[in-house]
Amino acid sequence: MESPPSEFEGRLSSGKDWREIVAWVGDLPPMPQVAAQAISMVEDPETTAQKLTDLLSKDAALAARVLKIANSAMFSRQREIKTLNQAVMVIGFKALKGIIVAATLRQLNKRFGNTEKMVWENSMATAMCATLIARKLKKRYVDEIFLLGLLHSLGQIVFLSQTDTSKDYKLVLNKIQETGCDYATAEQEIFGFAHPLIGALVAKKWNFSPETCQVILHYRDPIEGAAPTEEQEEKIAIVRLSDAIAHRAEIGSPEGYTPQDEDIEHCLKYLKFSETTGTDSAEVVETLIAETREQFDNEGGIYS
């Protein structure tokens, strides 16, 4: 009997067939062509800013959204960006990848009801918080972490974009309201699998790097050890912490969602936050909540 790929290990409830999930993900729509090409070009060292500008210009809606996001405080460099070429030059390719994905994901849910809005807002707040954290910890991957924060809930966005799973997602929200659990725990009980697995599989289908897929897959897994042994583990912890902070800031939190204070405390210790920033953990948490809330209030609308 064929054994499931490694990413399924321990992630399926009894009675669920991994092949059905692979087939379901296989039937999902591909990433829109211009966005897919743009992300591929960003990864290519031979790509010039002009080539990327020419490509983005072919999709007017995507180009307009990229320009709008480029002028947000997170990416702008204190001067108004008026042209797509300026945006590409000023922001840089790594950050641009996150902006293109943000613009594309928002278009995935044609129906944008309360649940879709809630999940989307949590995605954005997590991406913003991850960027804040990476800056405070002086990490070299500040421009990349926005994308990882954004993609942590890709699986939820997919759940809500598909008719067969979106109609049952209210059961997930009911489970959270009844028990105070997190999204992934509730999804596992309702569907037999959760959004980190689906997000990782879709990211793989869309040709994101193996590293990106691993961050999406593992961000809800228990953190082991006293400190990260590699950069990948560090990024996973930052995304996990950012998601928890976004919920503490009450951005994208459904009714009944229990704040994950122990999780936050553990991530801060694991990332050596107090040692690096010279502030105690209670102060760090309050600062991160306040700054994430402020940035989201100021700029969240740019992404919707």
- Please state, in angstroms and as integers, the Cα–Cα distance from residue 179 to each residue in 176, 186, 195, following that order: 5, 9, 19
In Å, the largest CA–CA distance within the chain is 60
pLDDT of the residue at 255: 92
Domain of 187, in residue numbers: 111-304
Percentage of residues in the chain with pLDDT exceeding 70?
96
The full DSSP string for the chain is -PPPPGGGTT-S-TT--HHHHHHHHHTSPPPPHHHHHHHHHHH-TT--HHHHHHHHTT-HHHHHHHHHHHTSTTT--SS---SHHHHHHHH-HHHHHHHHHHHHHHTT-SS--HHHHHHHHHHHHHHHHHHHHHHHTT-TTHHHHHHHHHHTTHHHHHHHHSHHHHTTHHHHHHHHHHH---HHHHHHHHHSS-HHHHHHHHHHHTT--HHHHHHHHHTTSPP-SSS-SSHHHHHHHHHHHHHHHHHHTTSSPPTTPPP-HHHHHHHHHHTTHHHHHSS-HHHHHHHHHHHHHHHHHHHGGGG-
The closest of 192, 165, 260 to 220, measured between CA atoms, is 260
Q: Report d(CA 105, CA 158) in Å as an integer.
A: 9
Structural domain contains residue 6: no
132 in the same domain as 49 = no
Number of independent structural domains in the chain: 2
In a domain, 7, yes or no: no
In a domain, 218, yes or no: yes
Q: Are 118 and 254 in contact (CB under 8 A)?
A: yes
Beta carbons within 10 angstroms of residue 100's beta carbon: 27
Predicted local distance difference test score (pLDDT) of residue 109: 66
Judge whether 10 lies within some domain: no
pLDDT at 123: 92
pTM tops 0.75, yes or no: yes
Q: Domain with 190 in it: what CATH number?
A: 1.10.3210.10
Domain boundary at 68, 88, 107, which? 107
- Which amino acid is it at 101? V
The reply to whether 186 and 301 lie within a common domain is yes
The single residue listed with the structure tokens 């064929």 is 2
> Are 176 and 100 contained in the same domain?
no
Q: Which residues of the chain have pLDDT under 70?
A: 1, 75-78, 109-110, 302-304
68 plus 175 within the same structural domain: no
In a domain, 260, yes or no: yes
- Specify whether 99 is located in the same domain as 232: no
Q: What are phi and psi of 140, to 5 degrees?
A: -75, -10
Return the pLDDT at 304. 64
Rounded to 5°, the CA angle 175-181-186 comes to: 50
Average pLDDT over the chain, rounded to an integer: 89
The tokens describing 28, both together, are: 């999902």
pLDDT at 176: 96
pLDDT at residue 143, rounded to an integer: 82
Q: Which residue has the tokens 């042994």?
A: 229
Per-residue confidence (pLDDT) for residue 1, from 0 to 100: 57
For the purposes of burial, counting CB atoms within 10 Å of the CB of 155, is it exposed (0-12), middle (13-18) or buried (19 or more)? buried
